[in-house]
Structures are given as C-alpha cells and as structure tokens.
Amino acid sequence: MAKSQPRYACQECGSVYPKWAGRCEACGAWNSLVEELPRSGPPKSLGGSARGGHALDFVALRGDSRQTARHLTGIAELDRVCGGGLVPGSAILVGGDPGIGKSTLLLQAAAAVAAGGGAAAYITGEEAIDQIRLRAQRLGVADAPVRLAVATSVRDIAASLDVANPPQLAVIDSIQTMYLDTLDSAPGTVSQVRGAAQELIGLAKRRGFVLVLVGHVTKEGMIAGPRVLEHMVDTVLYFEGERGHQFRILRAVKNRYGATDEIGVFEMSDRGLVEVPNPSAMFLAERADGEHGEGAVAGAAVFAGIEGTRPVLVEIQALVAPSVLGTPRRAVVGWDATRLAMIVAVLDARCGLSVGANDIYLNVAGGLRIGEPAADLAVAAALISAMVETPVPADTVVFGEIGLSGRVRPVSHSDARLKEAAKLGFTEAWLPARPQGRDSGRQPGRAARSGDGIATMPMAYLSELVERLAPAERRRTRHLAAAP
C-alpha cells in the first residue's frame, strides 16, 4: 500500500490541498492550512461494475412513517426556535462567540428535560465537573437528574450512548474538543470536527436521541469554525448578542423541522438565562424610561419588524453630524451598512436632502441585528429626524422597504406588525401604500384606521416621509436641501 501523502486542509472552509500555501485559494483565508493525515490510503475507485454493492431498496414517497412526538425542553423560547420542540433523532448545532452563554443555556435545557422526566446527558470536554456543578448551583438546577460526564473521546461517548435505552437529549460541549482516535490530526481540526460529528450524528439518528453540539465560532486559530458542520446537522442555531448588553438572541439559521429566522430572546441574569416572552416591551423599555419621558427625541424611530414568525418592535437610532473628514464616517450597529448607503443615496438623489455629506451613526437599540429590508423606512425616518432635529411622534411605528427609485414598497405581515404595535400602545403607523386599485383604504397620503385601531399613514414615495418630518419651508430655512 502506498505511503499516505500528507494533505493540507483549510481550517476555515475545509478545502484540501496537496501542498501547503500561505493562503487558501477557495476562501481567501491566510495561514489557515494545516497538515492533516487522511483517514486511510488513497481512495480506490469502485471499478467498472458495482462489484460487491447491494442494490438499493427503493420505496414510495407515501408510506408509514414513524411520527414521534417532539420533546419539549420546558424552555419555551428554545422550543419555539427549534420549531416547536426537539425532534428525536435530530442533530442541533449551537454556535456563538465565547462567553455568550451556550453552556449556560444547554445546561439549563438539559436540566429542564431531566426534571420533566426525560433522561438528559451533558458531556463536556471544556470544563471540570466542579465547574459545571458550581454553575448548576448558580442556575438553581443542581437537583435535576442530569447525567454529567467529562469526556473528549468519541469512542467513549459512543460506547455510553450506543445503548438500547439512551438519554432523550445528549449535549456535547463542544464538538471542537472531541476527537476520534482513528484520525491522526489534532482535536479541533476540520477533519476531526467533521469525523467526530459524523460519528455522533449517525449515532443519534440510529438511537433516536436529540444530539446538541456546541460549536465555537472563531476567526483565526486552530479551531475550525462550525461552517463545515452546518451541512451535516438538521438545525443550526446561533446564539448572539452584543457585549455589554444582557440580551441574548437565539436565532435559527437552518432548520429542517421548522421556520428559519425564528428568534428566541433571553436575558442573562445572575441566575442564568431568563426567557423574555415579550421582546418588544424589553427592546422598548429604555425608551419608556428615558429622561425625556415620552421618548420622543429626534433621531429615533420605532420599527415594527418580523423575526421569524414573531413581530418584534425595536428602536432605530441615528445621529447625523457635519463631517470634518474628507470621507464622511459611517458606523452601523445591528444593520447592514450597504443598505444604509443605499437609503442615504436615495434621500440625496430623490428627496433633495443632502444627508450623504455628513457623518452618520446608526444603531439598533438593545443589541438586536435586523436583516429585513422592511426596516428601510424606519431607518430613513430616523435619519431624516436626526437631520432636521424633529422627533418622530412617540406613538408611531414605521415600516416599509425603499426602492432605488424612491418608492416605498409593500412588505409582508403588515397586519401582524400593526397588531403588535397596537398591543404595545402605539396609535399610528407610517407604512407602504398598497398598489393602486388593490385596497382603497391604503392610498398614499390618506390616513385610515387599521382593524386594531391604529391610524395608518400610507406612503407611496420616500419624499412623502421627508415632507412629513421636514416640510419644505423648514428645510429651506435650515439649509438642508442639496445644493441646486
């Protein structure tokens, strides 16, 4: 047998090369190639005929399928993000920055499952038993019958879980610390992470337990990002949050058993993660407690957004200041900088406001990251409001997508957004007008009332928003119009 050739695998994207190079050609990462020995000799071709293979047993699409009930963890936010509970036999990957609270959340989940009568195992390769016990005490779950173990060998873990009566839930914290002794490369390398995960996922499918893998997200270093794992598991959850904020958001980015983009909101307290059943109220809490009482300061607009299947209200804040630099500064937290540039360009080109020459700071309050284009109109409202120093009325929510032509385009789930706004005491909404003829009740400029008692102010063009916040005469006196 030929001596196995060394090969080099990119720790960022998993591409394999026969020779070392400073930069991965596939993903462009520097210094990410690490020597890994292949599992066995060079792959052999099957040959012309399928010698020794078994013919597949094809079956019909329709048929009896095992419908096993989902396991509820008892942490409602987690269950919802997973699509209504954990599916037996599925594999869930939970990624997130170090210290964000992955171990805390999963220990709480394991404890909740165990306390609810199901068996749960928590296997850690990162911490000592004492540390976990201390954390469990702090979380107030020390009495839950969780089976706890420190292990890093997949062979040992498989031996304990490959039994007739495995636990309902097995948490592996983290997949980067696990290793397969059949591979020569170090734990944390792409081939180890992939091999260990493959083994464990296969086991979970065979034995029908829920497998939760913790995956670290790091930019550099030896640890493989969980990207290579994302294809292998059924559900990928990201745990995110801004440092310095106590809010943590669990977001489904892939889910074979539920909606993606679903979020669960938690608050990190001194007793672990606490569910936030009504995130809108939490995101807007600061606003209500503000020194200004009403919260109606210039440069802020409340966006009525949808995260997954749930409406979430959040404040968008903007600061617009004359630039002293040749290239004006842009700083964006919680939103897409490219989309901001687009809205600024539309305000400049279609509405005659010269916003673009200023330094612009944009922030989504509370540490939420918004991906929806429906936030365009709220961002524009915050920008215009900051620019002309006129507050958006405190009881108003804003949503709508903006096209390059300056048109305000309709967005989905209008009713859910209005309902949530009404629930939180808002009385007015600035929103897209429906296309002509579709709904006589939402023609541009004609105020109406939604089913929830919210006064709606439909807008067809962004210029209508500008006119509303900054009437022409006011713009002229403040020299805000673009130079003719």
Structure tokens at 335: 């939103």
Grouping H, G, I as helix, E, B as strand and the rest as coil, residue 474 is helix
Whether 88 contacts 66, CB under 8 Å:
no
Position among 18, 52, 63, 99 found at the interface with ligand TYD (CB under 6 A): 99
195 binds ligand TYD (CB under 6 A): no
Position among 98, 293, 322, 326 found at the interface with ligand TYD (CB under 6 A): 98
| Residues in the chain, total | 484
What does each C-alpha distance from 80 to 67, 83, 274, 277, 321 come to in angstroms?
19, 5, 15, 11, 42
Whether 381 contacts 468, CB under 8 Å:
no
Position among 125, 166, 215, 272 found at the interface with ligand TYD (CB under 6 A): 272
96 binds ligand TYD (CB under 6 A): yes
270 binds ligand TYD (CB under 6 A): yes
Residue among 103 and 176 whose Cβ is closer to Mg ion: 103
104 binds ligand TYD (CB under 6 A): yes
Question: Of ligand TYD, Mg ion, none, which one does residue 287 interact with (CB within 5 to 8 Å by kind)?
Answer: none
Q: What angle do the packed helices 154-161 and 190-207 form, to 10 degrees?
A: 0
Q: How far is the CB of 281 from ligand TYD (least distance, A)?
A: 22
| Encoded amino acid at 65, one letter | S
Q: How far is the CB of 105 from Mg ion (least distance, A)?
A: 10
268 binds ligand TYD (CB under 6 A): yes
Q: How far is the CB of 35 from ligand TYD (least distance, A)?
A: 29
Question: Of Mg ion, ligand TYD, none, which one does residue 188 interact with (CB within 5 to 8 Å by kind)?
Answer: none
Structure tokens at 472: 């022409």
- Site residues for ligand TYD, 118-137, by CB under 6 A, read 135
Q: How far is the CB of 365 from ligand TYD (least distance, A)?
A: 21
| Residues whose CB falls within 8 Å of the CB of residue 453, separated by 6 or more in sequence, listed in order | 422, 427
Q: How many CB atoms lie within 10 A of CB 7?
A: 16
Question: Of Mg ion, ligand TYD, none, which one does residue 231 interact with (CB within 5 to 8 Å by kind)?
Answer: none
Q: How far is the CB of 124 from ligand TYD (least distance, A)?
A: 10
Residue among 96 and 410 whose Cβ is closer to ligand TYD: 96
Question: Of ligand TYD, Mg ion, none, which one does residue 268 interact with (CB within 5 to 8 Å by kind)?
Answer: ligand TYD
Q: What is the number of the residue whose Cβ is closest to Mg ion?
A: 103
Q: How far is the CB of 483 from ligand TYD (least distance, A)?
A: 51
103 binds ligand TYD (CB under 6 A): yes
102 binds ligand TYD (CB under 6 A): yes
Residue among 103 and 363 whose Cβ is closer to Mg ion: 103
Whether 7 contacts 16, CB under 8 Å:
yes
Q: How far is the CB of 466 from ligand TYD (least distance, A)?
A: 44
Sign of the dihedral defined by the CA atoms of residues 382, 384, 390, 395, in that order:
negative
Query: Binding residues for Mg ion, per CB under 5 A?
Result: 103
If 0-12 CB within 10 Å is exposed, 13-18 middle and 19+ buried, where does residue 115 land? middle
Q: How far is the CB of 95 from Mg ion (least distance, A)?
A: 12
Residue among 102 and 475 whose Cβ is closer to ligand TYD: 102
Structure tokens at 156: 């040992």
E strand or H helix at 40: none
100 binds ligand TYD (CB under 6 A): yes
Q: How far is the CB of 216 from ligand TYD (least distance, A)?
A: 8
Beta strands in 86-209 (DSSP E): 91-96, 120-124, 147-150, 169-173
- How far is the C-alpha of 51 from the C-alpha of 61, rounded, in Å? 28
- How far is the C-alpha of 52 from the C-alpha of 224, rounded, in Å? 36
The pairing of beta strand 33-36 with beta strand 147-150: unpaired
Question: Of Mg ion, ligand TYD, none, which one does residue 148 interact with (CB within 5 to 8 Å by kind)?
Answer: none
- How far is the C-alpha of 79 from the C-alpha of 263, rounded, in Å? 10
Binding site for ligand TYD (CB under 6 A): 96, 98-104, 135, 138-139, 268, 270-272
